[in-house]
Amino acid sequence: MYKNIFKYDEMKRAEHMAVRNTVGWYFWTHQLLEITGPDVTAFLDYMFPNDIASLAVGRDRYTVMLNEDGEIIDDVVVMRVSEDTYWVSTLFATKLDDWWYFHQGDYDVEWSEITEDWAMYAVQGPRSRELVNVLAEKSVDGLKFFEIADNAIRGIPCKINRGGFTGEKLGYEIYVNPDDGEALETMLKAEAEKLGGREVTEFQVMAWTLPTEAGFYYMRDLAHTNPLEVGLDRNICWDKDFIGKEALLKVKETGPAREMVGFEVPETDHYIRAKQFGGPGEPVYVDGEEVGRVSKLVYSYVQEKNIGYILAKKDVLHPGDRLNVHGYDIVISGRSWLG
């Protein structure tokens, strides 16, 4: 009954573990906005709470985007591709575009969506550098984390960014013209196989199981939370003005009302609903009072157990606490399972 949709799926397991043990590659195109203009740095610094002004050319930075209430409305990677030009990688370009439009004011900036111009391939795992170096004309050995540079893959012009959404220390993202995608895929497939790697094809692996093991979020986890609740406040630049700052300062003063905690479900085959499929998520009760909702519940192929997140009232759930959710025992834990 309720057979686990992850554990027994050998394809998901093989794709997941390829990234953990050797190398996995996959089509991972996000939406891209290119923004430029004399005021571009100041504008982005106002749009995002993390420090954009200090970003050097060729480097990128992860940041959330907030509304006036300090709630997270997107999380993006900002890449500074030249002095006055940035790329912003998002999965919600339409909303982001509207948001910028309504807040542009007197900022002298222009932006356009360039998603159609670039296909992006993730190459992730301990042997990802080896794989990329076999293909790239310039070695990526010196590429720092969150650094993007021009390169070429056997004659195909590309940009290679070191980064990823898997928690792997080594991971790269290759941006090419979509017309070159098929050729790149052929090369990646052949070279990855030589290293014992493979293509990751399952959405649930690339977006859920790999990131969750590393404690990362998908935007559904972050909706209607603020950075202090979900532990994304560490890099907020409080010295500058940004949308949502006033509200967030109040949260900072009083302390967040909620927090994202990890949890594990010992029983393999369960029925606990999580927000990752949509909807409100399973309620979590303590002494009859609802103290949170299950945000995510996947399977860790590394730890061989069900893992997930609960968005809970602050300081109610602690690691080691044992609860029952929808008839299944759970154990509250930390939020990273990669050790």
Partner 1 sequence: MSKTIDERIPQNSGEGAGFKTFNAVQTPWNKLFSYQEALHYASRFEAVLSAAATQALRIMVPDYETRAQMMCEEAYQRLYVTGQYYGDDDGFGIHPFMCGQFAGALIGDKGDDALLMCGRCQDFGTYRAEKELDVCDWDICGSELCRTTTMSLQGQANASAERRRKGPTMDYLMVEAKGCGDRHCRIIAESREKYPAPPHKLWESFGPAVTDEYKKFTEEEDCVAESMMFREECNYRFVNGTNNETDSSNQMINLSTAASLYILPAVAEAVKRGYVTRDTADHILKCVLEAAGKAMFGERYAIRACREWLGVPDSVGEDGRLLGGLMEVLLQSLVCGYEVEAFNKDEVILVIDRGGLAIGATQEICEAHLWMWNGMVKTLVNAMWSVWEEDSPAGKLRVKIAKKIDKFM
- The two tokens of residue 123 are 């190459």
Q: Does 27 bind partner 1 (CB under 8 A)?
A: yes
Span interacting with partner 1, options 52-60, 134-142, 149-157, 267-275, rule CB under 8 A: 267-275
Distance CA 335, CA 217 (A): 11
Residue 56 C-beta: closest distance to partner 1, Å: 28
Tally the C-alpha atoms within 13 A of residue 251's C-alpha that lie toward its C-beta: 23
Q: CB nearer to partner 1: give 10 or 106.
A: 10
Span interacting with partner 1, options 58-66, 123-131, 187-195, 198-206, rule CB under 8 A: 198-206
Q: Does 213 bind partner 1 (CB under 8 A)?
A: no
> Is the Cβ–Cβ distance between 135 and 188 less than 8 Å?
yes
CA dihedral 216, 220, 225, 230 (to 10 degrees): -10
Distance CA 68, CA 313 (A): 22
Residue 136 C-beta: closest distance to partner 1, Å: 22
Q: Which one of residues 18, 20, 23, 30 is an interface residue with partner 1 (CB under 8 A)?
A: 30
Instruction: Give the footprint of partner 1 on residues 150-189 (CB under 8 A).
Output: 181
Question: Which residue from 74, 65, 73, 72 is spatially nearest to 44, judged by alpha carbons?
Answer: 65
- The two tokens of residue 125 are 């795992």
Span interacting with partner 1, options 35-43, 51-59, 155-163, 216-224, rule CB under 8 A: 216-224
Span interacting with partner 1, options 16-24, 27-35, 37-45, 139-147, rule CB under 8 A: 27-35
Q: Does 295 bind partner 1 (CB under 8 A)?
A: no
**105 to 144: interface string for partner 1, x by CB under 8 A:** ----------x----x------------------------
Q: Which one of residues 112, 186, 201, 324 is an interface residue with partner 1 (CB under 8 A)?
A: 201
For the chain, how big is the Rg over CA atoms in Å?
21
Residue 221 C-beta: closest distance to partner 1, Å: 9
Q: Which one of residues 189, 194, 224, 250 is an interface residue with partner 1 (CB under 8 A)?
A: 224
Span interacting with partner 1, options 128-136, 147-155, 169-177, 279-287, rule CB under 8 A: 279-287
Question: Which residue from 285, 267, 286, 273 is spatially nearest to 328, judged by alpha carbons?
Answer: 267
Q: What are phi and psi of 313, to 5 degrees?
A: -60, 145
Q: Does 91 bind partner 1 (CB under 8 A)?
A: yes
End-to-end Cα distance, the chain: 31
Distance CA 73, CA 222 (A): 8
Distance CA 227, CA 65 (A): 10
Q: Which one of residues 94, 139, 235, 324 is an interface residue with partner 1 (CB under 8 A)?
A: 94
> Is the Cβ–Cβ distance between 48 and 22 less than 8 Å?
no
Q: Which one of residues 57, 112, 271, 304 is an interface residue with partner 1 (CB under 8 A)?
A: 271
Q: Which one of residues 273, 305, 313, 314 is an interface residue with partner 1 (CB under 8 A)?
A: 273
> Is the Cβ–Cβ distance between 203 and 5 less than 8 Å?
no
Q: Which one of residues 36, 85, 133, 204 is an interface residue with partner 1 (CB under 8 A)?
A: 204
Distance CA 255, CA 313 (A): 12
Distance CA 131, CA 109 (A): 38
Residues making contact with partner 1 (CB under 8 A) = 2-3, 5, 11, 26-31, 91-94, 115, 120, 181, 201-204, 206, 218-220, 223-224, 271, 273, 275-280, 283
